Amino acid sequence: MSISKVRKMLESSDRVGLIVRHLTKSYSRSRAKSPVFTNLSFQIAHSGRLALLGRNGQGKSTLIKILGGVLPATSGTVHWSMTSSWPIGFGGGFQGSLSGYDNIRFLARLYARDYDEILERVDGFAELGSKLKMPVKHYSAGMRARLTFGLSLAIEFDCYLIDELVAVGDARFQDKCNAELFQHRADRAYIMASHDMSLIAQHCDKALVIESGQARMFDDIHEAIDVYTWLRAA
């Protein structure tokens, strides 16, 4: 790693990249508001590695989608001062009747990137070859996962939103996914929701534990894992 890159990392390490204030998400059910979480507030630095921990149904995926702009919040604010990805592997932006090539072209236009460059990156990573000519609606689940993961990493961001990484393909391809995300982008920020505590312990330095609509920030990742493990066993 060059001296200039190290200096840039040190300069950006303390800068706040995301500020979330009083975030609430509720759904209307039988004419009543059912809150997923209420009044969440936290922030992370440009070098932050934040885990989102909580039992199923506590709102981790919902929070990831709000941060990524996929879902609106009921109230509260999300302020980014660094670029953020959409949730890694999220396929909601696909147009199923279009081919893999056309979906890649749409992404390149959306982010004002060179199509040939993005195509080379996605095709080289996803390893779909001639299947990119097919409409995405005819892809198997594994093919869609490869394409979504490839698209998610084709654009460089300051912060990556990760919602329960899916094991895609064989062990070689899974190692390739981990290397692209956690090694080649080791200088980026992450917000990661996962039930894999070994992955959390390895890659995160703080955790937000969500339980019954409330959240608590832990600066000690191992303490957060202990609390989450106790909640799952309760």
Beta bridge partners of 21: 77
CA distance 205 to 49: 5
CB 142 within 8 A of CB 177: no
Dihedral, CA of residue 107, residue 203, residue 80 and residue 113, to nearest 10: -20
pTM of the model: 0.83
Q: In the prediction, which pLDDT does 10 show?
A: 45
How confident is the prediction along the chain (234 residues), in pLDDT tens digits per residue?
A: 455 554 455 444 568 999 999 999 998 776 667 888 899 999 999 989 999 999 988 999 999 999 999 899 999 999 999 999 988 866 666 778 899 999 999 989 988 999 999 999 999 888 899 999 999 999 987 888 888 888 888 889 999 998 876 555 667 777 888 888 888 888 899 999 988 899 899 999 999 999 988 889 999 999 999 999 999 987
**Block residue for tokens 């195509």:** 119
CB 225 within 8 A of CB 197: yes
- Structure token pair of residue 205: 């330095």
CA distance 66 to 58: 14
> Shortest CA distance to 204 belongs to which of 80, 48, 83?
48
CA distance 63 to 213: 11
Q: In the prediction, which pLDDT does 195 show?
A: 87
CA distance 60 to 87: 12
CB 215 within 8 A of CB 40: yes
First CA to last CA distance, the chain: 45
Q: In the prediction, which pLDDT does 226 show?
A: 96
Q: Around Cβ 96, how many Cβ atoms within 10 Å?
A: 12
Helix (H, G, I), strand (E, B) or coil at 16: strand
Helix (H, G, I), strand (E, B) or coil at 154: coil
Q: In the prediction, which pLDDT does 170 show?
A: 66
CA distance 24 to 36: 8
Q: In the prediction, which pLDDT does 6 show?
A: 45
Angle at 52 between CA 49 and CA 58, to 5 degrees: 170
**Block residue for tokens 């009747």:** 97
Q: In the prediction, which pLDDT does 194 show?
A: 87
Domain residue limits, the chain: 15-85+159-168+190-234
Q: In the prediction, which pLDDT does 97 show?
A: 87
15-85+159-168+190-234, what's its fold?
Rossmann fold (3.40.50)
CA distance 59 to 64: 9
CB 48 within 8 A of CB 217: no
